[in-house]
Amino acid sequence: SNFQHLSLLFPKGLDSDESYEGVSEASFKDALVFDSSRQKNNGSVPQENGIKKHRTSLPAPITERCYATWELSKITMPIVFNEPLSFLQRITEYMEHTYLINRACSMSDSIERMQAVAAFAVSAVASQWDRTGKPFNPLLGETYELIREEQGFRWVSEQVSHHPPVSAFHAENLAGDFVFHGSIYPKLKFWGKSVEAEPKGTITLELLKHNEAYTWSNPYCCVHNIILGKLWIEQYGTVEIVNHSTGDKCVLNFKSCGMFGKDLHKVEGYIQDKSKKKRCIIYGKWTECMWSVDPHTYETHKKSEKKGDSKKHKNEEQQGAENDDADDMPEVQETVSVIPGSTLLWRIDSRPAHSATMYNFTNFAMSLNELVPGMEAILPSTDCRFRPDIKAMENGNMDDASKDKERLEEKQRAARKERARNQEEWSTRWFQMGTNPYTGNQDWIYTGGYFNRNYQDLPDIY
């Protein structure tokens, strides 16, 4: 049997820094070190046209998830189940398809704008595909910034709370066309064979020229087979994108794979106007592409499809035997079948060939932890790029990564105890708890000033 993920089962002490609802983790001392062959670091260099070229691979490939020894007394999650990115960097991947927001800004028709926003909301979670590596939990006060002139945005984020873990972010278009902000509180639940992450928190997109604001929450994300079998990722749940100027909305249903895997990765939904009239149907897969089509064409197509369908079902039922051991990922069925008359809203970029040996990262993800020469002098010392554990893992030094991770967590615990002793409160630096003007709910609001680069009195967290 395969009990690689057993450590997840062990409840942790109250002092633990990384426990959520029965899911526990710390560090694992005896993870074997595989001295992975180093790849040449192709760092960012300014090109002749002034546009920066970002690195397209990591310094070292993934270390095999394989162990010789176990130390079960130390309740820990082996670092080999991580990926060398902080959760703050992982959520920055929402910005990979920023061109969809730019497209929304440029549309004069409001339904077309909503379509582009819906495509952006789906594309924002597409990087999760096959990414079973767990990002590092950000330390309290950790920050991450990303400036992408060619995509026209800058982003800043901060870990604003540790218990519960809350990450706040704020992005803005460099030409002032949009702001995109939110706070994410990934609430994990342990379901025996799987871990489910509920992405609590609201995401807000404001299209400034159009005086429009849209809000939504991400779908649930589930990692299957944490005890045995092959890890795989499913996203499901309803995502409602609301236009707060009118109350018009787009409803997107991320389908769970179902008994026979027929709906694996499927997303279906519609845009309705304020009189609740459906204006268009949106469909596709979050791993592949999204299309839109008018509701009439869609219904007609569904009816004609149903006629030829009843035979198929019998065969599928016989294959769907219950399996007590592992919930294997159903085979990915045909690609999205396009209804004639549909418009393509978004298609995923293919991942680079070396992605498979690099945590299944996209090109965008490969570049996120790159410390470009010259950055050290500019970035605040709290930036994720300076985290020694992530850096060590990125370089394939699993032993150092594991030790550093443990040290940072211990340092964080000690700092918390010290604050408690002095009756000091932690104060966040770039975000403050406030009210989201559109939803009326509590939200973390950017207080500004990060890019003035005045970084005095930063906490020493590494």
Ligand X SMILES: *[C@@H]1O[C@H](CO)[C@@H](O)[C@H](O)[C@H]1NC(C)=O
Report how far residue 395's alpha carbon sits from residue 392's, in angstroms, rounded to the nearest whole number: 5
List binders of ligand X among 140-169 (CB under 6 A). Answer: none
Task: Please give the size of the binding site for ligand X, defined by CB under 6 A.
Answer: 17
Nearer to ligand X, 81 or 446 (CB): 81
The first and second tokens of residue 317, run together, are 């039922």
Least Cβ distance, residue 383 to ligand X (angstroms): 25
Rule CB under 6 A: is residue 55 a binding residue for ligand X?
no
Report how far residue 16's alpha carbon sits from residue 457's, in angstroms, rounded to the nearest whole number: 27
Rule CB under 6 A: is residue 245 a binding residue for ligand X?
yes
Strand pairing category for 134-136 and 178-190: unpaired
Residue type, 118: A
Of 16, 39, 44, 110, the one binding ligand X (CB under 6 A) is 110
Report how far residue 457's alpha carbon sits from residue 38's, in angstroms, rounded to the nearest whole number: 37
Of 55, 113, 162, 255, the one binding ligand X (CB under 6 A) is 113
Rule CB under 6 A: is residue 130 a binding residue for ligand X?
yes
Look at residues 148, 124, 155 and name the one whose alpha carbon lies nearest to residue 53: 148
Report how far residue 32's alpha carbon sits from residue 394's, in angstroms, rounded to the nearest whole number: 16
Rule CB under 6 A: is residue 435 a binding residue for ligand X?
no
Burial 52-91 (b: 16+ CB within 10 A, else e): eebbebbbbbbbeeeeeeeeeeebbbbbbbbbbbbbbbbb
Rule CB under 6 A: is residue 394 a binding residue for ligand X?
no
Is 5 in a helix, a strand, or coil? coil
Report how far residue 338's alpha carbon sits from residue 342's, in angstroms, rounded to the nearest whole number: 7
Rule CB under 6 A: is residue 243 a binding residue for ligand X?
yes
Least Cβ distance, residue 271 to ligand X (angstroms): 7
Report how far residue 417's alpha carbon sits from residue 326's, in angstroms, rounded to the nearest whole number: 41
List binders of ligand X among 248-307 (CB under 6 A). Answer: 248
Rule CB under 6 A: is residue 131 a binding residue for ligand X?
yes
Of 79, 88, 114, 257, the one binding ligand X (CB under 6 A) is 114
Q: Any bridge partners for residue 212, and if so which?
A: 207
Least Cβ distance, residue 356 to ligand X (angstroms): 6
Nearer to ligand X, 362 or 412 (CB): 362
Nearer to ligand X, 162 or 265 (CB): 265
DSSP string, 420-460: HHTTPPP--SSEEEEE-TTT-SEEEEE-S-GGG---TT---
Nearer to ligand X, 91 or 241 (CB): 241
List binders of ligand X among 203-232 (CB under 6 A). Answer: 212, 231
Rule CB under 6 A: is residue 111 a binding residue for ligand X?
yes
Stretch that binds ligand X, among 6-14, 106-114, 161-169, 372-380 (CB under 6 A): 106-114
Is 159 in a helix, a strand, or coil? strand
Least Cβ distance, residue 125 to ligand X (angstroms): 15
Rule CB under 6 A: is residue 78 a binding residue for ligand X?
no
Is 228 in a helix, a strand, or coil? coil
Backbone angles phi, psi at 193, to 5 degrees: -90, -10
End-to-end CA distance of the chain, in Å?
38
Stretch that binds ligand X, among 156-164, 194-202, 240-248, 387-395 (CB under 6 A): 240-248
Of 359, 361, 430, 431, the one binding ligand X (CB under 6 A) is 359
Binding site for ligand X (CB under 6 A): 110-111, 113-114, 130-133, 212, 231, 243, 245-246, 248, 356, 359-360
